[in-house]
Structure 1
Amino acid sequence: MTTPSALDRPADVPFTRRLTARLVLLPALALSLLPPRRLRAVLDLVRRGAAPASAVQAGAARDAMCAASLRCAGPRGCLPRSLGAALLCRLRGTWPTWCTGVRVVPPFTAHAWIEAEDHPVDEGVPDGYFTRLMVVAPVSRTDA
């Protein structure tokens, strides 16, 4: 027997923001098909020249992706959701820290998420719950 569950989709996302998220969804899905090395290379190019995203900006981008797509709002939509949120932030001139990794506690599963101000954005888990395996952080002015 299965347990019914409801997806938590933000309802207060403006129409234009949802529309932009829908447009970003296709590139995010395409990026999610790339091998890790190429995905990182593409994200390294995209993040150039962007300022670090604040937690509010990153949270708004994540909410827009969840409001625009049931796939992104679902439990297995972490990769397109995180990529789409990062791309949405980039359209506004910012970049969150994009991460992939695994859960620290069993069962060990892969996950992708964004961080801002050194904390996961709206993941509902404490810091340290995931171990980072691949990180694409904003480029600081000293790194450029």
Structure 2
Amino acid sequence: MTTPSALDRPAGVPLARRLAARLVLGPALALSFLPPRHLRGVLERVRRGARPASPAEAAAAREALCAVSLRCAGPRGCLPRSLGAALLCRLHGAWPTWCTGVRKVPPFSAHAWIEAEGRPVGEGVPDDYFARLMTVPPVTRAGRATRAAT
């Protein structure tokens, strides 16, 4: 898994996207303190009416969060980074699959990330590197959650 750092924060993120990322950063940090079942409930309500995010949309959102926040760009910022990226996608009418889980290979490590089209976004790892423990995928028009590729 790649761990962004303050030294390699993305440059060239447009001003409008940086401002939007700052807008969702506060709520993302607040959400990161919720217990898992409450967090899932909030995200399930927020995702309503959104179309699935494309890999490019999800990557741009993740990049914007890393550009505006040292915490999100750091190695321990995966939860607020993933929440902020999902909320930023939602501002633009899309929703990625938000995931939490663990690495399948030692050493044990919990992680939170976003996926688009069943693939982790910006993680630099194989698709099956993480075991998903909780996901909040986009909802189809029929009202069913899309299934992430497992």
State the distance in 2 between where 1:69 and 1:143 align: 34
Task: Structure 1: give runs of 5+ residues left out of the alignment.
Answer: none
- Which structure has the bigger radius of gyration? 1
State the distance in 2 between where 1:12 and 1:120 align: 23
Q: String of CA shifts for 1:49-102, please: whole Å, max 9, x gaps.
A: 000000000000000000010100011000000000000000000000000000
In structure 1, the residue matched to 2:83 is 83
State the distance in 1 between where 2:16 and 2:130 align: 33
In structure 2, the residue matched to 1:121 is 121
Shift of the 13–78 alpha-carbon distance from structure 1 to 2, 3 Å rule, reads same
State the secondary structure of the residue aligned to 1:143: coil
Shift of the 103–86 alpha-carbon distance from structure 1 to 2, 3 Å rule, reads same
In structure 1, the residue matched to 2:50 is 50
CA contact (8 A) 2:99 2:114 kept: yes
Amino acid of the structure 2 residue aligned with 1:128: D
CA contact (8 A) 2:58 2:96 kept: yes
CA contact (8 A) 1:7 1:74 kept: no
In structure 1, the residue matched to 2:9 is 9
Task: Structure 2: give runs of 5+ residues left out of the alignment.
Answer: 145-150
Amino acid of the structure 2 residue aligned with 1:57: E
The number of residue pairs the alignment matches comes to 140
In structure 2, the residue matched to 1:39 is 39
State the distance in 1 between where 2:28 and 2:141 align: 27
CA contact (8 A) 2:47 2:138 kept: yes
State the distance in 1 between where 2:124 and 2:75 align: 13
CA contact (8 A) 2:96 2:137 kept: yes
CA contact (8 A) 1:101 1:132 kept: yes
In structure 2, the residue matched to 1:62 is 62
State the distance in 2 between where 1:20 and 1:88 align: 7
State the secondary structure of the residue aligned to 1:98: strand
State the distance in 1 between where 2:23 and 2:142 align: 33
State the distance in 2 between where 1:137 and 1:143 align: 12
State the secondary structure of the residue aligned to 1:126: coil
CA contact (8 A) 2:6 2:70 kept: no
CA contact (8 A) 1:58 1:96 kept: yes
Alignment root-mean-square deviation, CA: 1.1
Q: TM-score, normalised by structure 2?
A: 0.90
**Any runs of at least 4 consecutive aligned residues in structure 1 with deviations exceeding 3 A, and if so which?**
none
